Amino acid sequence: MVYSKELLTKTLESTNFGGGRINRTGTNAYDINYFITDHLGSTRVIVDNNGEIKEQKDYYPFGKEHENPDLIASTNRYTFSGKEKQTIKDLGWLDFSARMLETEFGRWLVPDPLAEKYYSISPYAYCMNNPLLFIDPDGRDVDISKLTNQNHVVALERFINTTEGYNFINRFMNKGETLKIGDNAYSFSKSGDRAKDILSLESADLDKNTLGKSEIFTKNEDGTKGSKMRNVMNLENINITDGTYQVIMLDTKIDDKQATNTLGHEAFVHTDRRSNELSNIERELNIGRSGKYFNNLDAYRGDMKDMIYRADRDHSNLRNGLIKRYETFSKQLDLKYKGGKYYEKYRKDAFGK
């Protein structure tokens, strides 16, 4: 969302929504543009409320736009892969949050921050040099670079090898992305509903009797971790429409079986349900004037507060047997990894027996 401010009055100038962008054209007047995209998310046609074509675009494989005088042009900057073109001094770079893409020669301008995960690929290569099939939503993916404890890596491999675990990770992945864990690579054929978020899995020295922990942060423009949301005083200033930064931490002192169960707890009891509330809040924001947040900041603050401070509710739901994905996950682990007694661990976690 982009606002202008005059004295104490804020005015919405423009904002993205699920299918395009809304731009202010005058006092209390807005123009709604609907983006028609291809399989890579690139804007190909823009139409208005009446279906009139406002813009047409064609691209070369790595994002450079065709110079075709027969195509209708506009001032829209959200183009290849849905990313914003930087128009200052006619740079033409595309902003992927974590880094910029130079479309003239199809290369990143800085190396991949997760380059050590993919030694065989240039750290400057866009989409493994295959932009017709793959996308890179923000120059990063699910970040496991801080998962340094080997027990935690084993736990993640077990986690993702269950249906529930794979589907959870898929919430944060985009179509065509691959996550490499140890010697194995896991591909994702569809985009998840939280794909614009960063999910960081980390090994950490936690307090005594704390096996795992989950937190949510704001996401900086470059895709890095911002402020812990529980420390932000004015919740209405948090921008979730461009994604958040979610973290799951596992204690370095636990063994691989404890780590597997703890990862399931943090994923399904906390992060999964927090992500559901995030998506619900975004849907209300996208509704606009007919949504419950229109001219009602208190409702937005209340829902944001419930989303952030939800640990007690989560544990109450767990004790009442309402976290079904966690239960199903533990049963799937027992079928796949005999002798782990994961369902027994789930029962003890949920009901103390």
For the chain, domain boundaries: 2-78, 141-351
The pLDDT of residue 344: 95
The pLDDT of residue 90: 79
Provide the pairing of β-strand 198-204 with 244-251. Answer: parallel
The pLDDT of residue 320: 96
pLDDT tens for the 353 residues of the chain, in order: 777 777 777 888 888 777 888 888 887 788 888 999 887 788 999 998 888 999 999 999 888 888 888 888 888 888 888 888 887 777 888 887 668 889 888 888 888 766 655 566 788 888 777 787 666 665 555 778 789 999 999 999 999 999 999 999 999 998 878 888 877 888 888 889 999 899 999 999 999 889 999 999 999 877 788 999 999 988 888 888 889 999 999 999 999 999 999 999 999 999 999 999 999 999 888 887 788 888 888 999 999 999 999 999 999 999 999 999 999 999 999 999 988 899 999 999 999 87
The pLDDT of residue 221: 77
pTM for this one? Answer: 0.65
The pLDDT of residue 266: 98
Distance of CA 124 to the CA centre of its chain: 22
The pLDDT of residue 233: 87
Longest dimension (CA), the chain: 71
Burial letters 71-84, b for 16+ CB under 10 A, else e: eeeeebebbbbbbe
The pLDDT of residue 165: 97
The pLDDT of residue 75: 82
